[in-house]
Amino acid sequence: MTSQVIIQAIISGILMGLIYALIAAGLSLIFGLMEIVNFAHGDHLMLSMFSTFWFWMLFGIDPIFSIPLTIILMAFLGVFTHYFIIRKILNSTMLIQICATFGLAVTIRALAQFFFTPDFRTIKNPIIQGKFEVYGVFIGYPQLFASFVCLFAFILLYLFVTKTETGTALQATSQDRQAAEILGIPSNKMFALGWAIGLSCVAVAGSMLSNYYYVFPDVGVNFSLFAFVAVALGGFGSINGSLIAGVIIGIVESVGGLLIDPSYKLLYVFAVYLLVVILRPQGIFGRY
């Protein structure tokens, strides 16, 4: 095995990892804000991919142009999800909360099977395609572009949360809901905003993935598993943590697949997860 092959695996891993990072950031933000795990996160990713696919299929809009449209759709879906489902279970027991978002996941997937059929779809001839070679390492343009866009979105998210007033209010709500409320910060609006942002993250990731990935109703499953591992690894509620954790998982998946056997990719990622649970249950940057 040459060093080129390993470098190739690491680079592919990092590129994929940046996408995992953005997906995980959305999940982590929602969890940090209201301590609810969005088990439908992968299915929201799937919806974003289908949204991108249909914009292309029905209106001929290329994925790089439909990103804003998909973001708007998903943000609205996030707000809608909060007001019609999450708000009602905020004070319920954890079991009920799990059932609610898990049920949402099953429903979304079933509806997707029904309306979109289980077929595997691809976007043919997108604007960004092909690959290039440097020193024997191949990098696909869609992959590279996707990770740049996800990294960019991630940075925007980070700046929003840490540097703006609304972002600080969002953090305050996540740290102490009552204390925030008495200062005049309406937590219900903050939660809706959190859902809008969380689903906007998967909207960006989904749009970019559909440039080169199959689009089908079950596509979100593995992504959401990886996102959960990334959130646990990075620390529940930590946005920075999801960046590092996403990239680590991307590399573990890709290098593990290369060194041992690609069909056990999931196993390596879960081995990492188990290690985290045993050695540092609160994750790299976690407070929980």
Partner 1 sequence: MLLNIKNIDVAYDDYQVIWNVSLNVKEGEIVALLGPNGSGKSTILNSISGLIKIKSGEINFNKIQINKYETYQRVGVGISHVLERRRVFPYLTVLQNLLLGAYHEKAKTEREKSLQNIYNFFPKLKDRSNQIANTMSGGEQQMLAIGRGLMGMPKLLMVDEPFLGLAPLVIEDLKLIFKKIAERGISILFVEQNVRLALSMAHRGYVLESGRLVIDGVSNDLINSKELKRVFLGS
Residues that bind partner 1 (CB under 8 A): 165, 168-169, 171-172, 175-176, 178-187, 287
The tokens 């933000």 sit on which residue?
29
Q: Measured from the CB of residue 85, what is the shortest distance to partner 1 in angstroms? A: 21
35 vs 181, which CB is nearer to partner 1?
181
Q: Measured from the CB of residue 171, what is the shortest distance to partner 1 in angstroms? A: 6
174 vs 200, which CB is nearer to partner 1?
174
CA atoms within 13 A on the CB side of 21: 30
Neighbours of 253 (CB within 10 A): 26
Cα–Cα dist 166/27, whole Å: 19
3-state secondary structure of 203: helix
Neighbours of 138 (CB within 10 A): 13
SS (H, E, C) 35-53: CCCCCCHHHHHHHHHHHHH
264 vs 288, which CB is nearer to partner 1?
288
234 vs 256, which CB is nearer to partner 1?
234
Q: Measured from the CB of residue 60, what is the shortest distance to partner 1 in angstroms? A: 45
89 vs 172, which CB is nearer to partner 1?
172
45 vs 161, which CB is nearer to partner 1?
161
Which whole-number Å values give the CA distances from 109 to 76, 113, 218, 221, in the listed order?
19, 6, 7, 10
Neighbours of 271 (CB within 10 A): 13
Q: Measured from the CB of residue 234, what is the shortest distance to partner 1 in angstroms? A: 15
Q: Measured from the CB of residue 253, what is the shortest distance to partner 1 in angstroms? A: 31
Q: Measured from the CB of residue 27, what is the shortest distance to partner 1 in angstroms? A: 19
Which whole-number Å values give the CA distances from 110 to 114, 209, 216, in the listed order?
6, 21, 12
Looking at residue 218, its amino acid is D
CB-CB contact of 211 with 63 (8 Å)? yes
122 vs 168, which CB is nearer to partner 1?
168
Concatenated DSSP letters of 100-120? HHHHHHHHHHHHHHHHH-S--
Which whole-number Å values give the CA distances from 170 to 151, 154, 161, 165, 286, in the listed order?
21, 16, 7, 9, 18
88 vs 131, which CB is nearer to partner 1?
88
